[in-house]
C-alpha cells in the first residue's frame, strides 16, 4: 500500500497511514477505537498502528486505556488535537465521513469518491477540491442518498455531490462522457458498512495520472 503523504493534501505528517489513523481518532472524539479497527481503516499493520498510537499519546493527541486484552484509543483533550482534527477532517475526512453517513443505506453495492478530491488523495497536484463527488452504485433510495450527502456536507463543511447509477453501470458500453471521465481519473472506493448489498461488479481502483 502507498503510505507517503503527498504535498497536495497534508504535507506536515510523516505518512498517509499516520494521517488516516489520526483522522479516524481525532475526527470522532466520542468514539473509542481498538488497534485492530485502526489497522483496518488505515490499511496499516498492527505493529505500525501501535507505534503511531504511542507517538500520538506522547504528544497528548490521543489517550488510551486497557479493557481486558484490548487497547482502546480515543482523542486527547488538548487544543492541539482539536485543531489538528479540523485539518485532518478536511484533508482525509471524506473517506470516514462518507462511510459513516452512507452506512446502512439499503441497496448500495459500491461507493466511491471521484473528481478533484480523489485526484489530490492519489497524489496529483492541483487546486484544493471545492466539493466532494460521490458515485453510488446500486438501487438505493435517492432521497436517502441525498440525506446522507447533506449530513456529510454539514460534517465536512464542503459540499458533497452524489451521483446514483445502477449496479450494472460499469458493465455498460454506451461510452458516455461521464463514464469515460470516471474511467480515466483516480477513484477511491469507500467501505460500505451495514448496507444490504446485492451483486457486486469488478471495477478496480483507477490511478491514472491526470488531474
Q: What is the pLDDT of residues 129-174, one digit of tens each?
A: 889 999 999 999 999 999 999 999 988 878 999 999 998 887 775 6
Is position 202 within any domain? no
- Check residues 27 and 59 and name the one with the higher pLDDT: 59
Is position 109 within any domain? yes
The count of structural domains within the chain is 2
H or E element in which residue 97 lies: helix 79-102
Is position 162 within any domain? yes
What count of other Cβ atoms lies within 10 Å of the Cβ of residue 163? 16
Question: Average of pLDDT values for 30-35?
Answer: 92
Give the chain's mean pLDDT: 81
Q: Do 69 and 134 sit in the same domain of this protein?
A: no
Q: Do 109 and 185 sit in the same domain of this protein?
A: yes
Does the pLDDT at position 176 exceed 50?
yes
Question: Average of pLDDT values for 14-19?
Answer: 81
- Cα(143)–Cα(124) distance, rounded to whole angstroms? 33
What is the CATH number for 111?
3.30.460
Does the pLDDT at position 115 exceed 80?
yes
Is position 65 within any domain? yes
Amino acid at each position: 500500500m502507498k503510505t507517503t503523504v503527498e504535498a497536495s493534501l497534508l504535507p506536515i505528517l510523516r505518512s498517509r497511514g499516520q494521517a488516516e489513523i489520526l483522522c479516524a481518532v481525532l475526527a470522532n472524539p466520542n468514539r473509542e477505537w481498538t488497534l485492530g479497527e485502526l489497522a483496518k481503516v488505515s490499511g496499516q499493520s498492527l505493529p505500525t498502528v501501535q507505534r503511531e498510537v504511542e507517538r500520538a499519546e506522547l504528544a497528548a493527541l490521543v489517550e488510551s486505556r486497557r479493557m481486558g486484552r484490548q487497547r482502546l484509543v480515543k482523542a486527547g483533550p488538548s487544543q492541539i488535537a482539536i485543531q489538528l482534527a479540523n485539518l485532518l477532517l478536511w484533508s482525509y475526512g471524506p473517506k470516514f465521513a462518507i462511510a459513516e453517513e452512507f452506512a446502512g443505506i439499503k441497496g448500495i453495492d459500491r461507493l466511491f469518491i471521484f473528481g478533484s478530491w480523489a485526484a489530490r488523495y492519489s497524489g496529483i497536484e492541483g487546486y484544493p477540491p471545492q466539493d466532494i463527488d460521490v458515485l453510488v452504485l446500486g438501487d438505493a433510495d435517492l432521497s436517502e442518498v441525498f440525506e446522507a450527502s447533506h449530513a456529510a456536507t454539514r460534517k465536512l463543511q464542503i459540499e458533497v455531490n452524489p451521483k446514483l447509477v445502477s449496479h450494472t453501470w460499469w458493465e455498460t458500453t454506451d461510452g458516455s462522457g461521464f463514464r469515460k471521465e470516471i474511467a480515466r481519473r483516480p477513484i477511491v472506493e469507500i467501505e460500505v458498512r451495514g448496507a444490504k448489498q446485492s451483486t457486486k461488479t469488478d471495477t478496480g481502483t483507477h490511478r491514472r495520472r491526470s488531474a
